[in-house]
DNA sequence: GCAGATTTGCTGTATTGAACAACAATGCTG
DNA sequence: CAGCATTGTTGTTCAATACAGCAAATCTGC
């Protein structure tokens, strides 16, 4: 008869059924699932890098678009980012309250707002981006490699044409 | 003096400033942004393919995991999918109400539920997956190619290790 | 020039997803 | 047995997203 079990030094064969890895099944071949997990991981890493900046991905994207296209109309900015016109209002409100962006009258159309970064906003975006490169993108390239990152960007763009 | 403008046949040089494409600026190099856009496009395409099945991506993933691991405990399923224990309850409630999955007493632990698909659930998942392959994944491979899809899956898995 | 349609920014509402604390029942460990 | 951990659940909060409707402004066809 075998020696009675003690709680020390677990023997391999005794490991209970609980820790066998879960089989992904049909999910394993589904691009959408893998894409979502990867996106969540990257956003999570983005948030960690932006700790202290209080800047979520959507807010960063708004600042970046305005910086690259100063004076662009509000509706064009929201459209470029795929953000609903109505939802964009509160998003921009907060950036304006934080004095990072401002609404100005659009020349030639009194309905529209032309959007600009404030000087503070320009500096803030530059700092945030530098931080992002130094931490977030650095970690990304650590697991991917620079060449694979460019490759991945190309593949993702193809997928975006699905919509 | 130039001929006065008419509204017909616009001359190239006369196109107003409105339709120049928006510059993505810093966003262009940010993996997270491109990932998110691609993921939204793929999920959108998933939803179109699942029209008539009333099955969202998260629901599909739950059915797929249960099918591949019948009898798995509820907490293990939610953990495998990265879904909060608490949020998983309502998700599973609906699948159970639709008679696609069921909670059974877990052998040896009266706290836990062991999850199974019902026969109806098995058929439903099979039908949904067939539909998905025929439409959704087909469109995905149309823009990606089969080789690039496998390549992409590998790159995404590397990213997921970030979390 | 004018009437009708469209655009723009905005408000309000509803839905969804996810994070979190708390709890009761149960299981585990010393 | 006493204390601690796990499990499923409820309830709350917060962010993201969609949508209908509105007033002001603009545009279009006649």
Give A127 to chain B, closest Cα distance, Å.
12
> Mean pLDDT over residues A127-135, rounded?
94
B144 → closest Cβ in A44, A148, A155:
A155
Angle separating helix axes A85-97 and A57-68, nearest 10 degrees: 80
pLDDT one-digit tens code per residue, B131-157 = 999 999 999 999 999 999 999 999 999
Q: pLDDT value at position B8?
A: 30
A143 → closest Cβ in B65, B153, B158:
B158
Which helix (DSSP H) or strand (DSSP E) does residue A160 occupy?
helix A146-160
Domain ranges of chain B: 55-162
Q: pLDDT value at position B7?
A: 30
Q: pLDDT value at position B16?
A: 42
Query: How does residue B19 score in pLDDT terms, banded at 50, 70 and 90?
Result: low
Which helix (DSSP H) or strand (DSSP E) does residue B68 occupy?
helix B57-68
SS3 per-residue string spanning A39-69: HHHHHHHHHHHCCCCCCCHHHHHHHHHHHHC
Query: How does residue A59 score in pLDDT terms, banded at 50, 70 and 90?
Result: very high
The percent of residues above 70 in pLDDT, for chain B, comes to 88
Give B135 to chain A, closest Cα distance, Å.
12
Take residue A24 and report the two structure tokens written for it.
């992904």
Top CATH class of B55-162 equals mainly alpha
Q: pLDDT value at position B21?
A: 84
pLDDT one-digit tens code per residue, B58-109 = 999 999 999 999 999 999 999 999 999 999 999 999 999 999 999 999 999 9
Taking the C1' atom of every nucleotide in all shown strands and the CA of B75, the nearest one is D7
- What is the Cβ-side half-sphere exposure of residue A157, based on CA atoms within 13 angstroms? 9
Whether the per-residue pLDDT at B24 is higher than 50: the answer is yes
- What is the Cβ-side half-sphere exposure of residue B75, based on CA atoms within 13 angstroms? 6
Query: How does residue A91 score in pLDDT terms, banded at 50, 70 and 90?
Result: very high
Question: Which one, of A45, A60, A50, A56, lies nearest residue A143 by Cα?
Answer: A45
pLDDT one-digit tens code per residue, A94-116 = 999 999 999 999 999 999 999 99
Q: How far is the CA of A52 from the C1' of C20 (A)?
A: 22
Give A103 to chain B, closest Cα distance, Å.
18
Query: How does residue B27 score in pLDDT terms, banded at 50, 70 and 90?
Result: very high
Q: pLDDT value at position B139?
A: 93
Q: Are B75 and B112 in contact (CB under 8 A)?
A: yes
| Integer Cα distance of A59 and B116 in angstroms | 42
Q: Which nucleotides of C are covered by protein (CB under 7 A)?
A: 7-12, 16-22, 25-28, 30
B35 → closest Cβ in A27, A137, A156:
A156
Q: How far is the CA of A110 from the C1' of D23 (A)?
A: 13
Query: How does residue A15 score in pLDDT terms, banded at 50, 70 and 90?
Result: very low
Prediction pTM value: 0.86
Question: Which of A19, A28, A42 should be substituted to probe chain B, the one whose Cβ sees the most B Cβ atoms within 10 Å?
Answer: A42
Q: How far is the CA of B154 from the C1' of C17 (A)?
A: 27
Question: Which one, of A3, A125, A127, A140, lies nearest residue B163 by Cα?
Answer: A140
DSSP state of B69: S
Characterize the bridge pairing of strands A109-117 and B109-117: unpaired
Q: How far is the CA of B162 from the C1' of D3 (A)?
A: 37
């Amino acid at each position: 008869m075998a020696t009675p079990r003690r709680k020390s030094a677990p023997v391999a064969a005794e490991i209970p059924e609980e820790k066998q890895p879960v089989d992904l099944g049909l999910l394993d071949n589904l691009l959408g699932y893998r894409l979502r997990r990867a996106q969540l991981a990257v956003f999570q890493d983005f948030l960690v890098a932006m700790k202290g900046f209080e800047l979520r991905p959507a807010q960063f994207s708004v600042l970046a678009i305005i910086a690259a296209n100063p004076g662009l109309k509000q509706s064009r900015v929201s459209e470029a980012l795929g953000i609903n016109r109505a939802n964009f209002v509160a998003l921009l409100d907060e950036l304006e309250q934080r004095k990072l962006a401002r609404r100005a009258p659009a020349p030639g159309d009194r309905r529209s707002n032309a959007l600009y970064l404030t000087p503070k906003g320009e500096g803030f975006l530059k700092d945030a981006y530098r931080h992002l490169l130094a931490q977030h993108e650095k970690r990304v390239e650590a697991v991917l490699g620079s060449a694979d990152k460019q490759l991945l960007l190309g593949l993702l763009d193809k997928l975006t044409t699905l919509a």
